[in-house]
Structure formats: structure tokens, C-alpha cells
Amino acid sequence: MSITHDEIRTTVARYLARYPNETDHLRPLTDALDAGTDLTSRKEFNGGHVTCGAVVIDDTRRLLLIQHIALGRWLLPGGHLEPEDDALPYAALRELEEETGISWHGAVAPPGHDVTPVDIDVHTIPANPAKGEPEHWHADFRWALWVKEPKVVLQAEEVEGYAWRSRDSAPTPKLAAKLAAL
């Protein structure tokens, strides 16, 4: 079973109930939901599509960032949805294991963050002429996960480095503020 439009809509509704001040930031996503856009397809470029990421905190309260090859930036582990993904949080766990080798078996969501992401960030992805992809946006559903004594083994095709950093090093100030409260 694949992730459905209804699951995305329900997750966004739960998220906005918790963070109502982010309604404007999520407008591209909610407008696309209202229009019936297939947000699960990585080939949806008329607007954008959903991705899932893992906000990994280790037992010393540090945040895991990976150096993404294609974008040349330090990011959270994560990526596009796959047809076999059953649910949004599972997509984040799959991406975590694929990119870092950290098993989903040892990842635990903080209380209250198992069905509601800690963050949803809508951001622009630059055009990639080599892949025939125009500029578009990603709505990255970010799931908080605690891990103990993680062993990182990078996926060399997409990731060229990793670092454990303070939580205030999160990719956005909005996420850093939420992590300070965890």
C-alpha cells in the first residue's frame, strides 16, 4: 500500500493543530492538496512534492547532519517517497537507514512525535538540467528520532560526509527552536 493523499492531508492537519502559526509557510502544500496534485510522485514539478526526513538526536543530544552530494549542503537524512512506502514516518525511517546505515530498529520517536512530524519545511529545490528537473519545491516532513550509540555507514552514491552537531545547527531556525524544546 502506498502513501495516500488522505494520509498527507491528515498529517498536515495534525501538524497545523500543533503549530497553527505555520499555516502561511505551508500554503504551497495545502494549495496542492486542495488541487488534488499527486504529491507522492517525485516527477511532480508543476509545484512540488512530499519528501520525508529524519531529525536524529543521539544519546548526547547532538543532531546528525549529512553532506548531500547533489546539493552540496549539510542536510538531515531523508529523501523522496517510494511506491512501497506504507506511511510517512516509515519513509523517513527507510531514508535514514538507506543514507546512514542507522537501523530503524534502534530509532525511537519522542513522546507525541510518532504520528506528527516535528517539522514540515517547504523549500525550493534548484533546477537540475542533468536530470531534466525544473526548479520545484519539496514539502519535507521531518520526524524526530532518538538513537543510542548509532553507527553511521554512509550511502556513497548520495552522501559524502556526516557530522554530529549541536541541535542549534539544524537546517532552519524554526527547526532549531523546536529541537531546543525536545
> pLDDT for 12-48, tens place per residue?
999 999 999 999 999 999 999 999 999 999 888 888 9
CA distance 177 to 74: 18
The pairing of strands 159-165 and 107-108 is unpaired
Residue 59, classified by CB atoms within 10 Å of its CB into exposed (0-12), middle (13-18) or buried (19+), is exposed
Could you tell me if 56 and 150 are in contact, meaning their C-beta atoms sit under 8 angstroms apart? yes
φ and ψ of 149, to 5 deg: 45, 55
Q: State the pLDDT confidence band at 160, using cuts at 50, 70 and 90.
A: confident
Cell 530498529 sits on residue: 105
Task: State the pLDDT confidence band at 78, using cuts at 50, 70 and 90.
Answer: very high
List, as one string, the DSSP characters of 126-141: --BGGGTB-SEEEEEE
Q: Which residue has the higher pLDDT, 128 or 78?
A: 78
Q: How far is it, in rounded angstroms, from Cα 62 to Cα 147?
A: 10
| Domain 5-181, second-level architecture | Alpha-Beta Complex (3.90)
